[in-house]
Amino acid sequence: MTTPSAGAHATSANRGLTAYDAVVVGAGFAGIYAMYRLRKEGLKAICYEAGEGVGGTWYWNRYPGAACDFESVEYSYSFDEQLQQEWKWSTRMARQPEIKAYLDHVTDRYDLRRDMRFSTRVTAAHFDDATSLWTVSTDRGDRVTARHVVMATGCLSTPKPIEYPGADSFKGEILRTAFWPKEPVDFAGKRVGVIGTGSSAIQAIPIIAEQARHLTVFQRTPNFSIPAGNGPLTEEQDRLQKQAYADLRRREWDSDVGICAKLAPDTRKALDCTPEEREAEYEKRWAAGGLYFYCSFVDLLVDKEANRTITEFAQRKIRAKVKDPKVAELLVPKDYPFGAKRICADTGYYETFNRDNVTLVDVKSTPIREIVPEGLKVGDQVHELDMLVFATGFDAMTGTLLNIDIVGRGGKRFKDHWGDGPRSLYGIMPSGFPNLYITTGPGSPSVLYNMVLGNEYHVDWIMGCIRHLERHGSTTIEAKPEPEMQWRETVNAIGKMTLFGEASSWYMGDNVPGKPRVILPYLGGFRSYKKICDDEAASGYPNCVVA
Ligand code: NAP
């Protein structure tokens, strides 16, 4: 398949630039699959990636303990049955090195690397009204044109900056989970501080505690964490899973969360069950490990009373694990509903606070003031440290896109378009930016669905748009402004029907000072979302302008 040659309409501005049918930004799960599909469709595509290799989030986040928090048999590509059958995971929930190795394998298996440029960050994408081409620029001086731009930039790819003064004065070493060094980090004999208690910190803390002389955890808000229950994947389990792969994938595509391998999401309401039935369900899912617990009942995130039952269950579990009641009370979330902040999965997280070499410091009641040469100053007290680890999260879902200078039709600036929060049709197509597509962006189920399958779905949908243009001899497709606005209102209205707004979280943009407070993912569930997007394509893109 070919699109009208990208070089055919060169203007003085883009003449002489290498012309591609598509530029893909990012070589994580989405970017790799986008390159596979574009190549398969006979398109000339290039992928730019800031990291030195493929992996995206799994390239950068190589901190100790980094691992998937649901089954890798699900958190993996579904597009090629042979690939599924040949890859063998060593554990139920693969650790970062294995996920990175898997993505390297996929990249090489389909010979995608030759069209990827690493250590290269896309800095700008400008649309030319005269030629309907994008000019894409990078920090290494590349300038190319493309008919299509696929922003496979990930949801958690722009770490928050260090928000305290004095980092330069620190005599020890500063580390960040989201930019972890490739060389092993030696904590032995060191006094280590970790700021943050989200998913990254919760995975790293037990491992650091085992090695360090002393670990001080600086906690602003406690999180709910479920035991991961990770362990080796036996030959027999692997064989059985592979036998049943087709059925598993069918169930995932037909579910709202895309996680079904061990326990399917329950379809009952918590409040329709007796307390004993609820308790049994919670116990079963807690024991299953990881995110299955989250899917115990369907009303947990829309009904406060239902949520209270799971919140209290999880609170009891935390209290039972921590010996010092004062420390336990600090670790128990009390100010927000279970699940309204991203839940975590851990291996021995709460138990770590029973160790003699671990201290928990509450920095909500007494905030951090600054980093000083000897360590971290909290209130008037200096905590002396040799290493300080920032696990403080990301400018999630919007940060990376807003850092790129994107200019659309008629000079429309993307930063202005998203000035009061993100807007795009189905989370994929922002209006005024023809042929520019976002994978698993805000306004789509995104981080609340299996991210690998969500990315596959979006790439396939985008390929559908490109094929539609080809079939009709058209050049551009872009969202109409009104349906885009309606979609945004739908996303917000559904968000308001849930309990997500009752927590301060990155789902709502709360973690980044000054970021507009809006619900970022679409909370209507993947099934309904998929139907809406499938219908749009099947009926010839009525909510888009095709020209
Ligand atoms: P996060 O969940 O946003 O956690 C950041 C932590 O740092 C929070 O405890 C936050 O406290 C704290 N923090 C932020 N700024 C601070 C400041 N200025 N002073 C003190 N504390 C501060 O980030 P994350 O742990 O990197 O995880 C982000 C997301 O990545 C997760 O929610 C998950 O979706 C994904 N993730 C997944 C996995 C996995 O699948 N296994 C692993 C890691 C990450 P507040 O809550 O008070 O803001």
Read off the pLDDT of each residue in 242-254 and give the average, rounded to a whole number: 95
Query: Which atom, in ligand 1's list, is nearest to the CA of 447?
Result: 34
Closest approach atom of ligand 1 to CA 345 = 41
| DSSP for residue 526 | H
What is the number of the ligand 1 atom nearest to the C-alpha of 163? 18
CA of 411 to the centre of ligand 1 (A): 36
Structural domains of the chain ordered from first start: 16-158+396-476 (3.50.50.60)
Residue whose structure tokens are 């294995």: 98
Ligand 1 close to Cβ of residue 506 (< 6 A): yes
Which of 231, 229, 223 has the alpha carbon at shortest distance from 318? 223
**pLDDT (mean) for 491-501:** 98
CB 68 near ligand 1, within 6 Å: yes
422 contacts 442 by C-beta, under 8 angstroms: yes
Question: Residue 304 is encoded by which pair of tokens?
Answer: 């406060």
Q: Which residue has the tokens 């008037």?
A: 380
Q: What is the pLDDT confidence band of residue 276, given thresholds at 50, 70 and 90?
A: very high
Model confidence band, residue 500 (pLDDT cutoffs 50, 70, 90): very high
Q: What is the pLDDT of residue 266?
A: 85
Give the bridge partners for 191, in sequence order: 214
- Is 221 touching ligand 1 by the criterion CB < 6 Å? yes
| CB 158 near ligand 1, within 6 Å | no
Pocket test for ligand 1, best of 342, 515, 517 (most atoms within 8 A of CB): 342
Protein residue with least CA distance to atom 4, ligand 1:
198
Using an 8 Å Cβ cutoff, are 155 and 447 in contact?
A: yes
Residue 320 CA to ligand 1 center (angstroms) comes to: 24
Give the tokens for residue 12: 């003085």
Q: How far is the CA of 431 from the centre of ligand 1 (A)?
A: 31
Please work out whether the CB of residue 67 comes within 6 Å of at least one atom of ligand 1. yes
The CA–CA distances, whole Å, from 371 to 42, 166, 179, 214, 217 equal 53, 5, 19, 18, 15
pLDDT value of residue 515 = 98
Residue 148 contacts residue 21 (beta carbons within 8 Å): yes
Whole-number Å distance, alpha carbon 198 to ligand 1 midpoint, is 4
Q: 200 CB less than 6 Å from ligand 1?
A: yes
Q: Is 196 in the pocket of ligand 1 (CB under 6 A)?
A: yes
Phi, psi values for residue 48, rounded to 5° = -105, 135
pLDDT by residue (tens digit) across 412-445? 999 999 999 999 999 999 999 999 999 999 999 9
Tokens representing 63?
Answer: 């901190």
What is the per-residue pLDDT across 446-483, written as a single tens digit (0 to 9) for each?
Answer: 999 999 999 999 999 999 999 999 999 999 999 999 99
Above 70 in pLDDT, residue 8? no
Kindly give the number of the ligand 1 atom that is closest to the alpha carbon of 70.
40
Per-residue pLDDT, 13: 65
Distance CA 118, CA 89 (A): 26
Angle between helices 304-321 and 275-288 (to 10 degrees): 50
Residues 43-71 have pLDDT tens digits of: 999 999 999 999 999 999 999 999 999 99
Helices marked H in 87-217: 96-109, 199-211
Residue 11's pLDDT band (cuts 50, 70, 90): low
Angle CA 40–44–50, to nearest 5: 100
Model confidence band, residue 5 (pLDDT cutoffs 50, 70, 90)? very low
pLDDT by residue (tens digit) across 151-199?
Answer: 999 999 999 999 999 999 999 999 999 999 999 999 999 999 999 999 9
Query: How far are the Cα atoms of 283, 296, 306 from residue 271, in angstroms, in the given order?
Result: 17, 12, 6
Determine the Cα angle at 491 with ends 335 and 505, to 5°: 25
- The candidate with the shortest Cα–Cα distance to 293, out of 324, 318, 274, is 318
Ligand 1 pocket check for 448: Cβ under 6 Å: no
